[in-house]
Chain A
């Protein structure tokens, strides 16, 4: 499989705030604060995000959580590569 080209620094969007349903401009708040208000809770929609990823057999590519909408997803956070547990 051909290697996907990748540089040293590659921005990813990180948390993606939901698009506001009304077209009204946000009152007072900057977009950054909107991201801060996003919070994962059971029974609520999963906060979307985009992150750079390593995928075996593919290489490096950005992955968006909502790319997997329609499937069951298990999202696992862990403290770091080469940790012991």
Chain B
């Protein structure tokens, strides 16, 4: 959470709005912000912190753990047409990587703008692929792992 907040400027520059959600109430979100997050990141978490009491929303997104009564770590990239482009769900002991999240957003945005597709591990500026009959059997000529 704080890791994403610390790089919020990068998300904003990419035209991305961030929403965070747990089963905690809005009151707990406020106190967490004041007591801890604002001390980890200057100004605290700048994006909305949503409350999923009862886990109904987490259930729809496949991240609600009924036994524990919490939403586990899951993040979803949603494009401007409201289509889910990516999801990553982890069990609680490992945090997520903002670098990988930003890489995926840039790749999906590049694909949306150009129609090109991005090979494994693509970073902005690296070679992209133009899918089509001409590329069949020829990927090796333009890209190797």
Q: Which one of A42, A44, A56 contacts B33 once the chains associate, using CB atoms below 8 Å?
A: A56
- On whether the beta carbons of B94 and A85 are closer than 8 Å, the reply is yes
Q: Which one of B17, B22, B61, B76 contacts A81 once the chains associate, using CB atoms below 8 Å?
A: B22
**In the bound complex, what is the Cα–Cα distance between A35 and B60 (angstroms)?**
8
Which residues does chain B contribute within 8 Å of A52, judged by CB atoms?
25-26, 50-51
For B27, B54, B78, the residue with the greatest tally of chain A CB atoms inside 10 Å of its CB is B78
Interface residues of B, CB < 8 Å — how many?
Answer: 69
Question: Is B20 part of the binding interface, using a Cβ–Cβ cutoff of 8 Å?
Answer: yes
- On whether the beta carbons of A55 and B16 are closer than 8 Å, the reply is no
Which residues does chain A contribute within 8 Å of B11, judged by CB atoms?
74
Rounded to whole Å, the gap between the CB of B12 and the closest CB of chain A is 11
Interface residues of A, CB < 8 Å — how many?
Answer: 43
Question: Is B24 part of the binding interface, using a Cβ–Cβ cutoff of 8 Å?
Answer: yes
**In the bound complex, what is the Cα–Cα distance between A12 and B24 (angstroms)?**
14
- On whether the beta carbons of B87 and A42 are closer than 8 Å, the reply is yes
Rounded to whole Å, the gap between the CB of B33 and the closest CB of chain A is 6
**In the bound complex, what is the Cα–Cα distance between A35 and B61 (angstroms)?**
12
**In the bound complex, what is the Cα–Cα distance between A6 and B90 (angstroms)?**
34
- On whether the beta carbons of A74 and B77 are closer than 8 Å, the reply is yes
- On whether the beta carbons of B82 and A38 are closer than 8 Å, the reply is no
Which residues does chain A contribute within 8 Å of B58, judged by CB atoms?
77
Q: Which one of A6, A45, A47, A73 contacts B19 once the chains associate, using CB atoms below 8 Å?
A: A73
Q: Which one of B49, B51, B80, B85 contacts A70 once the chains associate, using CB atoms below 8 Å?
A: B80
- Chain A contacts with B in 47-85, Cβ cutoff 8 A: 47, 49, 51-56, 60, 63, 65-66, 68-83, 85
Which residues does chain B contribute within 8 Å of A51, judged by CB atoms?
21, 50-52, 57
- On whether the beta carbons of B24 and A81 are closer than 8 Å, the reply is yes
- On whether the beta carbons of B54 and A85 are closer than 8 Å, the reply is no
**In the bound complex, what is the Cα–Cα distance between A51 and B71 (angstroms)?**
14
Chain A residues near B (Cβ < 8 Å): 6, 12, 14-15, 35, 38-47, 49, 51-56, 60, 63, 65-66, 68-83, 85
CB-defined A-B contacts under 8 Å, sample of 29: A44-B83, A45-B84, A46-B76, A46-B82, A49-B57, A53-B48, A53-B51, A54-B29, A54-B33, A65-B78, A71-B17, A72-B16, A73-B18, A73-B76, A74-B4, A74-B77, A74-B105, A75-B21, A76-B18, A76-B74, A76-B75, A77-B58, A77-B72, A78-B1, A79-B22, A81-B24, A81-B28, A85-B93, A85-B94
